[in-house]
Structure 1
């Protein structure tokens, strides 16, 4: 089986928000699109990512025309992966950084997609093997010649365990 790559499961129809958009407009856009977050662009360049929870906490932020702006509440740290990266690398990034979306960019930094936990779940539901070709997993696996030792059968295991 082949290694599942980000390009195989990413969302390519990415909705973006301009950095100078009002928080009210951003909430409306996310709601209309049925998404929970989006990359934020300034002159075509990714400058951040904003989520519904960022927008919900927009009280007391810098305002333009008496409206809070997206660029004052967005996360300026952008976690990105490449289309050719193994899916498990992206999953590990999302878990390690506790993020719900990874921006997919080309080597030149152009936005080509987004990867979310829902994309990964969809792939799993369709029967894709997310860990195929996951060399980090293979390196961690232990191979035992004695299956009884590998699973811990025997009385000594039960008597030493505590809860």
Structure 2
């Protein structure tokens, strides 16, 4: 199985200049724990998570608390490799790209669901 087989295709994102309040509302309303941060052109410039909020860094905008180094995978990355990246980098989600364009996101829950599907066969 490849990343494209298990990724969530409708990626919820937030702008770097969004207020922290908007981020908390977005995470709560969608029952998610993190999102890619995009600039005005739609390019991913960071990731922001519940952990970033809880660290209570100073700032009023998403850009003030986001993680700027984004680890990502391609649509053709095997899910075993995605799982290894999540584990070794101690992260909970990775954006998925196809020819430089954001097309999905994979979380640990997606990996577990794929494992459950594979093991039930």
**Normalised by the size of structure 2, how large is the TM-score?**
0.92
Q: CA deviation at 1:94?
A: 1.1
Q: Cα deviations across residues 6-61 of structure 1 (Å, max 9, x unaligned)?
A: 11111111100010001111010011011000000001110000001112223422
Higher relative contact order, structure no. (Cα contacts within 8 Å, ≥ 6 residues apart): 2
Structure 1 residue 73 corresponds to structure 2 residue 71:
no
1:33-112 alignment to 2 at 5 Å? 33-43=30-40, 44-61=42-59, 68-107=60-99, 109-112=100-103
The answer to which structure has the higher strand fraction is 2
Q: CA deviation at 1:127?
A: 2.3
Is the contact made by 2:58 and 2:64 (CA closer than 8 Å) also made in structure 1? no
After superposing on structure 2, the runs of 4+ consecutive aligned residues of structure 1 that deviate more than 6 Å are: none
Is the contact made by 1:55 and 1:70 (CA closer than 8 Å) also made in structure 2? no
Query: Structure 1 stretches of 5 or more lacking a match?
Result: 62-67, 130-163
